[in-house]
Amino acid sequence: MEYIHKSVLLDESIEGLKIKSDGIYVDATLGGGGHTYEILKRAVNGKVIGIDQDDYAINRAKDRLKEFDNFIAYKSNFSNISDVLDDLNIEKIDGIIFDLGVSSFQLDIPERGFSYNYDAPLDMRMDKTQKISAWHIVNGYDEKELARIISEYGEENWAARIAKFIIEEREKEFIETTGQLVSIIKKAIPAAARQDGPHPAKRTFQAIRIEVNKELDILENTIKNAVDRLNKGGRICVITFHSLEDRIIKNTFADLNSDCICPKEFPQCVCDHRRKLKLVNKKPIIPNDIELTENARARSSKLRIGERV
């Protein structure tokens, strides 16, 4: 089966990178390779490093991009950006892009366990070699912790009730599949509350996926490390898909755009912080109507761009 990947905000992010023909660029979330392909077409005398922790993504990208001899695929988590560049003997780069969240092909492969639309083993690991999967969280976390992550990461109003129902069901038997989990969530959320809005399992699945892959914990430091490796005038583009991610990126960009991050009550600056980033767009760029029509997964996406000073 051929999985069609549509890169979100592709034109806007490529334009935002201000690509130089001899520049060095990093696609920190290689995924389907859509952004990398467009960067490679422009950085003809440069180099592009694509990072992904998913073996399937790495192999697909290598095949898709085999026409380019200036592409390097590197298996790692993007939080290791400094180590990756050190290993490749690259001191500075001219641009980096992050397309956060789960890739289309990960959602579309049932056995990966990311989607509530397929009945499959509970998994949700972006890196299949890591030990902790969705199964361990659903069957191992206590009720209070389950409610916390579903509420915090999924912004789910029925988090406590969903957690309670999960605990009750797993006391009878282990919850093994996404289908079982969807059924439990539907039982937990009253019918009237399921009439409108997204799929009733969407927020819970998002929360568990974020917890499995520790997606939010690493964001702030990763962005700061990436900006430290940018040449002056180099660009960073970050595409987010939900408010939790976007809030972290917005606040991190704001810190990097400030000469002082001391608490407001301090009479004078003691932080010795220096501005590293200029905000290219103060408000996030969102998809246009044409993209929204062609790609439903772009609906909640936002693009923020910064430039190294």
Q: If we measure between CA atoms, which residue out of 36, 25, 89 comes closest to residue 58? A: 36
Predicted TM-score (pTM) of the model is 0.89
**Mean per-residue pLDDT for 225-238?**
98
Count CA within 13 A, CB hemisphere, residue 134.
Answer: 28
Closest CA to 202 of 139, 140, 117: 117
Q: Taking 90 as the threshold, does the pLDDT of residue 273 lie above it?
A: no
Higher-pLDDT residue of 6 and 142 is 142
Predicted confidence (pLDDT) per residue in 93-125, tens digit: 999 999 997 776 677 788 888 899 999 999 999
pLDDT, greater one: 217 or 196: 217
- Does 186 score more than 90 pLDDT? yes
Containing 277, the helix (H) or strand (E) segment is: strand 277-279
| Residue at 6: amino acid letter | K
Residue scoring higher pLDDT (191 or 86) = 86
111, 122 in Cβ contact below 8 A? no
Binning pLDDT at 50, 70 and 90, where does residue 11 land? very high
